[in-house]
Homo-oligomer: A and B are copies of this chain.
Amino acid sequence: MLDKTLSLNGKIWFETPDGKLLGHGRVELLERIQQSGSLRQAALQMKMSYRQAWDMINYMNEHFGAPVVISHRGGKGGGSAELTEKGLKAIEQFKLFQQKFQEFLKTNSPLIQI
């Protein structure tokens, strides 16, 4: 339709030669762990299984060069989890590049000529 505006959109992620390491979804998982102090709670909020969430965290812990989340099993409430300095830095960096990317999209979107 002629009255609809064409715009540029996309997504970015951090990767290693092994594949995707950190994108929008995993950043959300990390943030929810940070806020709730619980991997189980974070998984629940994102409607994923504990196992799925744990696998993601485990993958990141192995591929970031150092753990991004440390979990403490057992105790009242079924254990807790917290982000390491590395994990906090990963979120901060992703958001920085996400912001740059949004600026890229905003700058280029009006230039589409079809």
Q: Which residue of B lies closest to A62 (CB)?
A: B1
A4 close to chain B: CB less than 8 A: yes
Q: How far is A10 from B104 in the complex, measured between Cα atoms in Å?
A: 13
Interface, chain A (partner B; CB < 8 A): 1-2, 4-18, 20-21, 62-65, 86, 89-90, 93, 97, 100-101, 104-105, 108, 111-114
Q: How far is A4 from B62 in the complex, measured between Cα atoms in Å?
A: 11
- A101: chain B residues at CB < 8 Å are 10, 104
Q: Chain A at the B interface: mostly helix, strand, loop or mixed?
A: mixed
Q: Which residue of B lies closest to A66 (CB)?
A: B2
**Selected contact of A12 from candidates B4, B9, B111, CB within 8 Å:** B9
A16 & B12 in contact (Cβ 8 Å cutoff): no
Q: Which residue of B lies closest to A65 (CB)?
A: B2
- A90: chain B residues at CB < 8 Å are 114
